[in-house]
Amino acid sequence: MSGTFASFNTALSALRYNRVAMDTASQNIANVGVDGYTRRRVDAVTAGTPTQPAMWSRDQGTGGGVRITGVDRMSDYLLDLRRRTEHGKQSYLDTRQAVLDRLESGIGEPGDTGLASVLAQFRGAWSDLANTPDSDAARAQVISRGREVADALHLQASSFQSEAGDQRVRANGLVAEINTVAADLAATNKAVQVANLTNDDAGNLLDQRDQLALRLTQLTGGKAVANGTGGLDVTVGGVALVTGAIAGSLQVAGGITPTGDADGNPVSFELTHPLNGTTAVAGLTGELGAVTDLLNTTIPAYLAGLGSVAQTLADGVNALHQAGYDATGAAGLAFFTYDPADPAGSLDVTLTGTAQVAASSLAGGVVQGGNAAALADFSADPAYQQLVNGFGTSVSSSRRLATSQQMLTEQVDGARDQLAGVNLDEEMLSMVQYQRAYEAAARVMTVVDSMLDTLINRTAV
């Protein structure tokens, strides 16, 4: 289009473009603190002259202004994919580290109240009895210290078993959240597809889609990929959880009852999808994967090690105690008793009176502390130290891995924020730029109006 009146249209297109650009900048500023918001930018192209030259004629126009082609989200698919991957790893390591730190605090080593200290006091009580075998107070101290050892073992075992119970309840809650988020993502995928078909702005829906996909990867370590219709499909352990507008559901297959109790089996999961049926799921990471590893490996391994320490202690003390003689001259009884299925949680002292303490190594009621001295030399500390040192190494390794992963996650988040995040200084500069451009376009329209007034009303005057 050419001619004087065309200038009106050119100025009008500039007014429209700069108004939309200012509105978009204002929207970015308003959402600067909204989690998951992706910065918008107005895309435009020059309007007017043909993009393909004609063969037999030439265009006489000098341009037709500017034409808005859309409002784009400043996102990058590869950065979003990398972000979901790193956040899934971070969730796994952070969840594991938090639980291990809590368990390590419950062990209380090294410290004056830990099991190692109680075992040392138990040996010290036998040593005191060896020095004063005729002392009822020393015999009572041996029984008391033995009960303290049993209590310390009970406390540690109970701490780990309680943590396991909490994690089973947590696993049930995570499964319920995963299914809810998956259903929400499927519904959002459908809404995005409809918005694309009707040519509506799907920016807010895409923000919601990305947030839901990120949460699913944090929960399961799953992989979310674009499906070609604007949505994201999610697989967990290689098994489809969300396919377009269809969501599957994750269930506990074994190891945890609906009330959070253990059923004696390893924790496992299965996924039911309307298109694929029911499939076992393995290789979970994220929060649920960390909980699964803790329940299937870490906590049972420590409880088994603690039970072995309790059994070693009880069997060793019982063998030595039964080789001696009590205050009446009778052969010693078993000092400890325990349930082989749970040595650490069931260990107890069998003696009911101080006369039953077999301090003597000589029969016939001889007051002597030879057997007490042998018991003072017996120690289950090496096995316990190995157990605690191994657990401490695992905790330290988990902490280092979580810290290293945090740096990588922050690097990816920073790269994404540079593109998708809202920078107030940048938006303010854009606002000033669009404001000046709007004023200039308005001035062009004023000048053209004045020229037309001269042309129409003053020609030949």
My answer on whether 141 and 244 are in the same domain is: yes
- Give yes or no: residues 106 and 53 share one domain: no
Do 397 and 318 lie in a common domain? Answer: yes
Give the residue ranges of the chain where pLDDT is below 50. Answer: none
pLDDT digits (tens, 9 = 90+) for 401-451: 999 999 999 999 999 999 999 999 999 999 999 999 999 999 988 988 888
**pLDDT of res. 58:** 60
For residue 149, give the H/E element and its range: helix 136-197
| C-alpha–C-alpha distance, residues 417 and 414, integer Å | 5
Per-state percent for the chain, helix, strand, coil, to nearest 5 = 60, 10, 25
Given a contact cutoff of 8 angstroms between Cβ atoms, the answer to whether 25 and 434 are in contact is yes
Residues 214 and 151 placed together within one structural domain of the fold: yes
Residues 349 and 220 in one domain: yes
Do residues 199 and 307 share a domain? yes
Number of domains in the chain: 2
Alpha helices, DSSP H, located in 200-331: 203-220, 286-293, 299-322
Quote the CA–CA distance of 301 and 49 in Å, as a whole number.
75
Residues 445 and 317 in one domain: no
Co-location of 153 and 279 in the same domain: yes
Q: What is the pLDDT of residue 56?
A: 60
Neighbours of 220 (CB within 10 A): 32
Residue 339 makes CB contacts below 8 A (sequence gap 6+) with 345, 346
* Per-residue confidence (pLDDT) for residue 108, from 0 to 100: 85
Instruction: Judge contact between 397 and 16, C-beta under 8 A.
Output: no
Distance CA 97, CA 403 (A): 10
In whole angstroms, how far apart are CA 200 and each of 57, 66, 73, 193, 244?
A: 38, 21, 14, 10, 19
pLDDT score recorded for residue 156: 94
Residue 101 and residue 35 in one domain: no
In sequence order, the β-bridge partners of residue 280 are 270
Determine the Cα–Cα distance for residues 440 and 438; give it in Å rounded to an integer: 5
What pLDDT, in 10s, does the model give residues 142-201? 999 999 999 999 999 999 999 999 999 999 999 999 999 999 999 999 999 999 998 888
Q: Is the pTM of this model over 0.85?
A: yes
pLDDT, residue 54, reads 60
Residue 169, pLDDT score: 96
If DSSP codes are grouped into helix, strand and coil, which group holds residue 285? Answer: coil
- Residues 155 and 12 grouped into a single domain: no
Domain of residue 13: give its range.
4-74+421-457
d(CA 127, CA 142): 9
Does residue 138 contact residue 252 with C-beta atoms inside 8 Å? no
The reply to whether 156 and 287 lie within a common domain is yes
The continuous run of DSSP H or E covering 252 comes out as: strand 249-254
**DSSP 8-state assignment for residue 354:** G
Residue 273's DSSP bridge partners are: 277
Are 286 and 354 found together in one domain? Answer: yes
Q: Do the Cβ atoms of 42 and 68 come closer than 8 Å?
A: yes
